[in-house]
Amino acid sequence: MDAIYQLIHDYCPTMPDWLALALAILLPIAIVMGVFLTVFALLTWVERKALGRIQNRRGPNRVGPVGLFQPIADGLKLLTKEDIVPNAADKVVHFLAPVLVVVPAFMVLAVVPVAKGFIAVDLNIGVLFALAVSTASVLALFMAGWASHNKFSLLGAMRGVAQVVSYEVPMVLAAVVVLMASGSLSSVSIVEAQRGLTGWFVCKPWGLVGFVIFQLCAMAEVARTPFDLPEAESEIVAGYHTEYSGFKFALFQMGEYVAAITMGGITVTMFLGGYLGPGCDLPKFGWLISACWFFAKLGIIVVINIWARGTWPRVRVDQLLGFAWKLLLPLSLVNIVAMAVWHFAPNKLVGWVESAVLLAVAIVALVKINAGQTFEKRSYRFTS
Partner 1 sequence: MSNLLGKGMIDGLVVTAKNFVTSYFDGNRKDRLFTYQYPEERMKLPENSRTFPFLVYDGTPDQMRCTACKVCETECPPQCIYIVMERDANGKPLLRPRVFDIDISVCMQCGICAEVCPTNAIKMDCDFERSAHGRFETLLSHLPELLKSNDYYHQIKSAEATRVDATRKPVKKAAAPAPVKPMPTPADILTEDERSAWQRGCQSEIGTGPIVWPPPVVVKKKVAGTNTEQNVSAAPLPTGTPWHDSGIDIAARMELAKDRSLADKLMAAMAQLDCQACGYDCRGYADALASGTNSDFTLCTPGEEETKNMLEKLLKEAGKL
Partner 2 sequence: MSATGIIQTQTLEVSLGPQHPSTHGVFRMDVVLDGEYVVKLKPVMGYLHRNHEQLAEKMTWLGSMPYTDRLDYFCSMTNNWAYALAVEKMTGLKVPERAEYIRVIMAELTRLLNHSCAIGFLLSDCGAWFTPVLYALREREWILDFFETVSGARMMCNYMRFGGVRVDLDDASLAMARNIVARWPAFLDEFEKLMTENEVLLARTQRVGILSRNLAINASVSGPVARASGVEYDIRKVDKYGVYDRFDFGVPVGEAGDTFDRYMIRILEMREAVKILEQALRDIPAGPFIAPEAKLRNFKVPAGDGYGRIEAPKGELGFYLVSEGGAKPYRYHVRPPSFINLTILEDMCLGQKVADTVIILGSVDIVLGEVDR
Partner 3 sequence: MNIVFLTLSAIMVLGAVLAVTLRNLVHCLLALVVFFLGIAGHFFLLKADFLGAAQILIYIGAVAVLILFAIMLTRNISGTEGGRSSLGGAWWLGVGLASSLAGMMCVFVRRSELVTKLPYGATEEGVVKEIGKLLVTDWVVPLEIMAVLLTAALIGAVVIALEEEKKR
Rounded distance between C-alpha atoms, residue 124 and residue 106, angstroms: 18
148 with 133: CB under 8 angstroms? no
Using CA atoms, how far residue 384 sits from 379, 380, 381, in Å, is 17, 13, 10
Q: Which is nearer to partner 3, 127 or 356 (CB)?
A: 127
368 is a contact residue toward partner 2 (CB under 8 A): no
96 with 70: CB under 8 angstroms? no
Query: How is residue 115 annotated by DSSP?
Result: B
Binding site partner of 307, from partner 3, partner 1, partner 2, none, Cβ cut-off 5-8 A by kind: partner 1
Residue type, 5: Y
124 is a contact residue toward partner 3 (CB under 8 A): yes
Q: Which helix (H) or strand (E) holds 79?
A: helix 70-80
Q: Pattern 59-78, binding to partner 1, x per CB under 8 A?
A: --x-----------------
Of these, 195, 316, 343, 348, which contacts partner 2 (CB under 8 A)?
A: 316
**274-306 burial, b if ≥16 CB within 10 A, otherwise e?**
bbbbeebeeeeebbebbbbbbbebbeebbeebb
Instruction: Count the alpha carbons within 13 Å of 147 in the hemisphere toward its beta carbon.
Output: 18
132 is a contact residue toward partner 3 (CB under 8 A): yes
373 is a contact residue toward partner 1 (CB under 8 A): no
176 is a contact residue toward partner 1 (CB under 8 A): no
273 — alpha (psi -120 to 50), left (phi > 0) or beta?
Answer: left
Question: How many Cβ atoms from other residues are within 10 Å of residue 316's Cβ?
Answer: 12
Binding site partner of 146, from partner 1, partner 3, partner 2, none, Cβ cut-off 5-8 A by kind: partner 3
165 is a contact residue toward partner 3 (CB under 8 A): yes
Binding site partner of 383, from partner 3, partner 1, partner 2, none, Cβ cut-off 5-8 A by kind: partner 2
Residues within the interface to partner 2 (CB under 8 A): 51, 54-57, 151-152, 155, 225-226, 228-229, 232-237, 309-319, 371, 374-376, 378, 380-384
Residues within the interface to partner 1 (CB under 8 A): 50, 53-58, 61, 307-308, 310-312, 367, 371, 375-377
Residues within the interface to partner 3 (CB under 8 A): 90, 93, 123-125, 128-129, 131-133, 135-136, 138-139, 142-143, 146, 158, 161, 165, 168, 185
